[in-house]
């Protein structure tokens, strides 16, 4: 019986020059990254993306957008 733990998913944000990108990762996952929107990926995919300057770990801020004054 294997006791290997799998790492928790991570959220990654694309901050490159395009409105978004679709990436085919070595894990076999195909993930769409809209610009500036946190996207949940597996830990292996997050590690691959960590070496790229256009991808960053999402902050854990829990702020909600404020409603517009009417």
Per-residue pLDDT of 16-47, as tens digits, reads 999 999 999 999 999 999 999 999 999 999 99
Cα of 40 vs its chain's centroid, Å: 5
pLDDT confidence bin for 9, thresholds 50/70/90? confident
Give the global pTM: 0.73
Helix, strand, coil content of the chain in percent (nearest 5)? 10, 30, 55
């Amino acid at each position: 019986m294997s006791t290997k733990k799998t790492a928790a998913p991570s959220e990654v944000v694309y901050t490159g020059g395009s409105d978004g990108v679709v990436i085919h990762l070595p894990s076999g996952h195909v993930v769409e990254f809209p610009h500036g929107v946190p996207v949940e990926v597996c830990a292996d995919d997050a590690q691959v993306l960590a070496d790229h300057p256009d991808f960053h770990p999402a902050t854990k801020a829990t702020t909600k957008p404020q409603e517009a004054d009417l």
